[in-house]
Structure 1
């Protein structure tokens, strides 16, 4: 039985919608605001989320952002409920990764058709458009590849699904290498980076469990423009280049997934470059901490000072000094467990 999480602050709509879904054979969890909805999702991962946009405490956009950023929730199909029909609301929701919209009032048929459509798409394709980082639960990778193979009609998919253990601080590939495979990170952490002629390092990406990486060079059929190094002892699954290319050609859903992934990476890198060009050091450090804070769902940021400095694009000594100032201001906590952001709103709003 599929579980649906319904987040709606209007009691009548919430109860009526839940009743329709239960009659259709779904298990329904309900929440009256976004904060309670996120707590419900974390406690019991649903197969689909239906969420109102305008709510107290935490609105629907905030819920979707948390769902996409949390490794334990990302990839869940997401349907927005809204009483508005303005284009700006639709555009904002789709940019954030919503799978579908239902405009209130809606009838039973519209509701059930939207739900069935999203669940079927998730079952047949694997990761959904609601997952801009293409994060997949490690135990779902085989299902994803099997589904893509079946949907694409491939006769043979020689994907090496064995997990390869790679020790900490080992290069997976280096700038200039010819790409031979797509990488799926089952456990551990990997950074991608570039090194300039002076030997200075700039971290261009941080990847955690459930993420693909190394796909840009495969799609473009060009040598790697960066290097990938393990930050921890990691487990990687290798998908040969030929099989990845067959997946892209045979299954449009897989292609769309990686197009969205590429678009997201380009946007992230553009913001990083703009920050380095025009942002103050405090602003750049704050933005880097906020990105990692959201990526880790509020957990401690466990990066060496050298790696964090490479993310920001500054000297390690400058980073340490800025972290000390943030700690003194009560914005962060620094301990052996890592860096924990205490006041993200103040970091975000500060005018440095």
Structure 2
């Protein structure tokens, strides 16, 4: 199977698995602890049941919607992921260009492996930025100033990382930054010559954006350790006022999981939230995002934008989220499998698969527009709240 033959995100996952050394593939594919929450994300989505439509004119279907005042071609966002240069040279650039070609936003991560100016030369107009709240607020202010001046108008603050998740696969694989070349990792890399050659040409991935703004590259025993050095464990709802006062664009909180949290987000001046369990990569043993979604949508009652992520792998999944009341879906691993399988073209292919699946889901649910998918769902299955 080659890239053009890949019919699903599952096919792209298999191509990525073949191309990448195990330590790198496991970083994409893995999750926290025993990966219970990661598995639950998938099970819960599978249990959501859509309602088929019949005898409805769906000969003309429209996928576009608006997010934070800007039109997007369909209700998806390529979400923030770190260390993308480990999967493909200049991975952040490939993801951004793929998203721009698809007409959807790309969220640049604090843990990007590209410097800002090269990124801005190729990024599309729908630029969002993801921020971790760090211990050094002076550094946070430096990030805010730089990204606002660079045309980013949506800031996504990740709020479920007071400490980093314990990711057992990374520990077993000794996946570090910079790479730690154990005998096993060296042999595994040698068995994946296409990846190894590309890394030799481009150089090892580093947190270039952080290094550019902070002035020094972070290091640690694992990727989680690298981020743990920087993350604030004391940032609270009250402190959120400090951030809101310093950011002039749209503010989105990522990692919301209860009705109370969603209400407090509104009270704090947030323009949107992401219902998320971080793809199962933080607290293992929680409910899936899609289980939380209906109650949060009810609590928000249309007063702010509600996005969702964690476990979404198809256009059918996006259709379920829209039917349950979400305004859009953030894609993580789905885009990364495409990236690892074929760079920018792999990202474009992944997004094209998802959009085509969403189009067919709309037609079979009797929906000619995104808005008409609302309510076309029969409960949240056995895993419902």
The alignment's TM-score, normalised by the length of structure 1, stands at: 0.25
The alignment's TM-score, normalised by the length of structure 2, stands at: 0.23
More strand by share: 1
Larger RCO (CA within 8 A; separation ≥ 6):
2
